[in-house]
Structure 1
Amino acid sequence: MADIWILTLEKRGCAAMLKSGATGLAQAFTLSLSGASYHDSHLEVSLSVSDLHREIAFGGLPIGVGVGDASARVRIDDENTPYFEVSATGTLYACGGGCLAEPITLGRTPTKLDIKITNPETAILYIATSRKHLEQLRSTIHVSEVMSAPAHESQLLALHRHGSAMGGLPMWFWFFL
């Protein structure tokens, strides 16, 4: 089983990380859980929007050699729509689904980035060391439709936050207490 995980991580662009020991293995595992993979000089996060019904965070993802680490957090706004808060330890650049908007500069302060869905499907977040690289990438991604991520149903969010679609703790918890 471990061999399959190692092979999977190697094929998703993490071969160099795995050679660096336990820290590299932890970073590669984080990449796997976040649906991220390295491609020609950038990182792509390809989580399915339907999986973004809870807030999650992943960080410490190295971008470039000695340039900086990226951190991303999926948040849910007041209208139940998911969005990213992205930050970096060095100067990095990011753009959303399809990379159609101008790349934004990342720093230590988290920056809000709306999640976009494209047709055909593309990654929902791109992070690179070069603004020019993301601008060039934009011209190679061909999409016919771009839309904002849909809002999730309140009942689904309540179920994941509280264990019950009605909110609060489930009845069996209070019964056993």
Structure 2
Amino acid sequence: PLINNEEREKMEGTLNYADHCFSGHATMHAENLWPSKLSSITQLLQLWDLWKLTLQKRGCKSLVMAGAHGLMQGMMLSFGGLQFTENHLQFQSDPHVLHNSYALRGIHYNKDLINLAVLLDQDEKPFLHVSVKFQDKLIKLYACEAGCLNEPVELTSEIRG
């Protein structure tokens, strides 16, 4: 069914600002949420329900209400242990799970898209690469390490250092 413009704008607004979603440990190693094989429609629907329940209990109710796009956004936030709180995106993954390299692309933040990659250097030490793809007007976004002990760095779409 078609939705009217007001409902569409509300859903898009929900996708662009997922306040207090996702709270909890990263789900990247939760085998029940990332099965290697689904062999029936029933299993797929059970997995859909499990994801909806998990995300709703972890502060992502508004994303789940936004439909499939919202559910996917919540799943992506949960995978990396990312949480939105009051104009702040926090990467709260446990250090012991950072031995994996992975990338999360297209994280909605207002109308912009944030890309985050956890990569390993030559010594197998993890580091983050974060960039932003501006969709609307240019606004300044900044990133810093835990506690922001060093000066925050402005995010761009360019690859630097």
TM-score range, shorter chain: 0.5 to 0.7
Determine the C-alpha separation between the residues in 1 that align with 2:59 and 2:109.
12
Aligned to 1:33: 79
Could you tell me which of 74, 82, 89 is aligned with 1:43?
Answer: 89
Determine the C-alpha separation between the residues in 2 that align with 1:111 and 1:44.
21
Residues 74 and 32 of structure 1: is their aligned pair in 2 closer, same or farther, counting only changes over 3 Å?
Answer: same
Structure with greater proportional strand content: 1
Could you tell me which of 29, 52, 76 is aligned with 2:120?
Answer: 76
Establish whether residue 19 from structure 1 lines up as the match of residue 65 from structure 2: yes
Structure 1 residues 86-125: aligned runs within 5 Å: 86-90=130-134, 91-111=140-160
Q: Which runs of 4+ in 1 moved over 4 A?
A: 1-4
1:7 is displaced (CA, Å) by 3.6
The TM-score normalised by the length of structure 2 is 0.60
Residues 20 and 111 of structure 1: is their aligned pair in 2 closer, same or farther, counting only changes over 3 Å?
Answer: farther
Aligned to 2:33: none
Q: Is the 8 A contact 1:37 1:44 kept in 2?
A: yes
1:110 is displaced (CA, Å) by 3.8
> What percent identity do the matched residue pairs reach?
35
1:71 is displaced (CA, Å) by 0.9
Pairwise CA RMSD: 1.9
1:14 is displaced (CA, Å) by 2.4
Determine the C-alpha separation between the residues in 2 that align with 1:110 and 1:62.
20
Determine the C-alpha separation between the residues in 2 that align with 1:27 and 1:85.
19
Question: What are the Cα deviations for residues 127-160 of structure 1, in whole angstroms up to 9, with x where unaligned?
Answer: xxxxxxxxxxxxxxxxxxxxxxxxxxxxxxxxxx
The TM-score normalised by the length of structure 1 is 0.55
Aligned AA (1:71): N
Q: Is the 8 A contact 1:36 1:43 kept in 2?
A: yes
Larger Rg: 1
Aligned to 2:104: 58
1:22 is displaced (CA, Å) by 1.0
1:4 is displaced (CA, Å) by 5.0
1:104 is displaced (CA, Å) by 0.9
Per chain length, whose mean CA-contact separation is higher, i.e. which structure has more relative contact order (CA < 8 Å, sep 6+)? 2
Please, which runs of 5 or more residues in structure 1 have no aligned partner? 113-177
Question: What are the Cα deviations for residues 84-104 of structure 1, in whole angstroms up to 9, with x where unaligned?
Answer: 011011242111112222211
Residues 12 and 110 of structure 1: is their aligned pair in 2 closer, same or farther, counting only changes over 3 Å?
Answer: farther
Q: Is the 8 A contact 1:52 1:74 kept in 2?
A: yes
